[in-house]
Amino acid sequence: MRISARADYAVRAALELAVRDEDGPVKAEAIATVQDIPHKFLESILGDLRRAGLVDSRRGGNGGYRLARDASEITVADVIRAVDGPIVSVRGVRPTGLSYAGSAEPLLPLWVALRANVRRILEGVTLADIAADKLPETVQALAAEPAAWENP
């Protein structure tokens, strides 16, 4: 699985809004600077997040962006879907929309299982979890496995 730059930047931007929630609206320039995200690219990402109902924006001198819901109600999966679409796809098609014949038939349940596991992790972690540095135990356990840090 590949996490796009757009998805990575979106999660980082949303996380920045989560940790600054009590400060009021945050300007895109501030997010771009702190997270080292190209400003124009970030504006496009924030637009996607706004259209998905994850962030609100306000114009003017005291304007900026803020989360539209509490950080505990926004998962990493929500953010990724807002900017990249389906979490796992094969050639741009959701696994449930595929069909294979012959010796390739066993691939379908493999892709569906992959999708289920990725969703389980990304839908189980909220922006509040990351902001508090308290990832769910299941995620911590997976990350603690030595093989998780190795490249085959």
Please compute the mean of the pLDDT values over residues 17-46 and round it to a whole number. 95
| Angle, CA 42 vertex, CA 24 and CA 58 arms, to 5° | 35
| C-beta of residue 77 within 8 angstroms of C-beta of residue 122 | yes
CB 78 within 8 A of CB 54: yes
How far apart CA 68 and CA 51 sit, in angstroms, is 11
Model confidence over 76-129: pLDDT tens digits?
A: 999 999 999 988 888 888 888 888 999 999 999 999 999 999 999 999 999 999
pTM tops 0.85, yes or no: yes
CA–CA separation, 76 and 124 (whole Å): 8
